[in-house]
């Protein structure tokens, strides 16, 4: 399948965070988070029948909602690795590198789960490269400082996109991230999340679970 492309743009909105230590945030490393990045690549051949997998195609990639229940980040990574291996393709947890791709994922997989579910992203602040959790976020900082913190976050496939962060994020929730709905300002965007929690609770609002959306090449 061909690669993705698209022109990034800034999105609005955000979600307040409370900070925390690396222990609170849940640990992740490039080796763990990237395990599925090339899963199944050795067996890739011919065209992938995305429909047969229950998925939807966009820009030559196949997107499959592999959710069976809400799981922690590491389990979502493993689920996508398993799916990619079974399909004999390179694959990984959801990567968003354009506004168009993000809009596609939202319309195909998440709109019906608004204010119910968010989706894990293959975007992390690696504890191997950034052992100090404060390297991953800042609170009450200016745009320049926030840009430096966002630069510490990396996608599993090497994508450089950072257009989707909302508001003050990343703001200390964790080393993993999600494409999430904020009921306060009714927008979707990227937020940092605790890798070790299978749900997220914003005070005064319903708890959100996580969907596992896998991307096959």
Residues 131/156, Cβ–Cβ less than 8 Å: no
Location of structure tokens 């257009």: 163
User: Which of residues 97 and 32 earns the better pLDDT score?
Assistant: 97
- Which among 125, 151, 119 is positioned nearest to 32, based on CA atoms? 125
- Which among 157, 156, 164 is positioned nearest to 191, based on CA atoms? 164
Residue range 86-137, pLDDT digits in tens: 999 999 999 999 999 999 999 999 999 999 999 999 999 999 999 999 999 9
d(CA 98, CA 163): 8
Q: Model's pTM, two decimal places?
A: 0.84
Residue range 44-82, pLDDT digits in tens: 556 889 999 999 999 999 999 999 999 999 999 999 999
The CATH topology of domain 22-33+95-211 is Mannose-Binding Protein A; Chain A (3.10.100)
């Amino acid at each position: 399948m061909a690669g993705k492309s698209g022109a990034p743009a800034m999105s609005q909105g955000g979600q307040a965070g409370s900070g925390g230590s690396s222990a609170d945030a849940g640990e992740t490393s490039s080796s763990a988070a990237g395990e599925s990045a090339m899963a199944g690549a050795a067996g890739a051949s011919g065209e992938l029948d995305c429909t047969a997998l229950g998925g939807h195609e966009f820009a030559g990639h196949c997107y499959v909602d592999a959710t069976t229940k809400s799981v922690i980040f590491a389990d979502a990574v493993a689920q996508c690795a398993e799916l990619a291996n079974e399909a004999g393709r390179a694959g990984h947890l959801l990567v968003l590198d354009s506004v168009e791709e993000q809009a596609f994922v939202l319309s195909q997989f998440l709109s019906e789960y608004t204010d119910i579910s968010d989706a894990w992203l293959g975007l992390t602040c690696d504890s191997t490269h950034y052992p100090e959790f404060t390297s991953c976020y800042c609170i009450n900082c200016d745009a320049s400082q926030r840009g430096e913190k966002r630069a510490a976050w990396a996608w599993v496939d090497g994508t450089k996109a950072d257009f989707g962060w909302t508001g003050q994020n990343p703001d200390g929730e964790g080393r993993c991230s999600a494409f999430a709905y904020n009921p306060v300002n009714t927008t979707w965007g990227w937020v940092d999340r605790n890798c070790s929690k299978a749900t997220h609770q914003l005070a005064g609002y319903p708890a959100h679970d996580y969907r596992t959306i896998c991307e096959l090449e």
